[in-house]
Structure 1
Amino acid sequence: MALITCYECDRMASDQAAACPHCGAPIADQAAAVQAQPVLVVNRSVGFWLGVGVFLFPAVFVWFLLRQGHSTTSRVIGFAWLGLALFVLAGHERSDTRPAAATTSQGQPENVSAPAEPRSEISAQHLAQAYDRNTVAADQQFKGKRFKVTGVVGSINTDLFGNPYVTLRGGVNQFMEPQFKLDEVHANYAAGLQAGMRISLICTGRGDVAKTPMSQDCVPAN
């Protein structure tokens, strides 16, 4: 049993009643008219511009296919095209990242510049004499600058942190011989040195400690 609206008095009445209890209008005719009303089915076709939008920008326009009336076939085709577009885009991004990764693995990034060339060449003895004469003038010439120094190995040592350094003969006395700290990657080079060997290094000046010239970031020059 269902309630319907009487077409005469606009009041509710049972569809099983013979007549409206309020106004007496026949109910059977009204119920038959309600049951005979057709159910409207909206069918939408994929228009030209919607099709173009789905083809060019599937991530945006494919969702319009979810509106009522579009067929299941059009929805399947639209979302399949969206999945294919995303798959192709992801593959393209992976291919773009591979060359960069290969460059990094080879250890040759573009933004790494070559070590600066030494601005001057000097012997260990002349370096020690320069600091003995005038520390300020020697700092202006060598501190923070790359230079090539040549001399005879006096000793091979490590500092408090285990970093290798060598002293070259030529200091004012045996306790003030110039010190040259090597890069960590050249520890094997330092291990192969012996006192009395003549070597050349390219270093960066670090000033002095009590008139003893100090240098760092040294690499073999020969």
Structure 2
Amino acid sequence: MALIECYECKRSISPEAMTCIHCGAPMTGKHAPLQVSRPATATSTISFGSLPRNKAVTDAFVAEAAPASALEPKVMPAAAGRRRRQQAEQAAEQAVEQQSYVDGVRPVEGWLKVMAFLMPMMFVWFLLRRGHSLKQRLFGFGWLALLIFCVAIAPTPPPV
């Protein structure tokens, strides 16, 4: 595209320019571009303060931004996506826990059964966690009491 010369300031400008970018003179004559019709409701002016205005120069046209389409995916930082996945996983785990405690009683895990049987002095206390039933606690602490009673009544060996 060839540049043309402004008739007022004699500087080079684009032939598609409606006004000179240097002096603001409107383009007239054979080099003037076709006037583009603009909707009256979507026009707005840009003000640069209290500069003198040339009435021959047309006002700048600012197109209104179109609203974002609901079909386009929302761009989000990776941390937000990771956080949402973690929250979803936690909610799924809580839902599984709630399903397993339908009757409100927490099941005794296998490791706790074995360790409470072998070393009740240490592991029976885990039955005091929230959710275990009174029946489970009575079995665990009853086993501990039985072992303590057996040790207490065991005959002591004679001194050597």
Greater C-alpha radius of gyration: 1
TM-score (norm 1): 0.25
More strand, by proportion: 1
TM-score (norm 2): 0.34
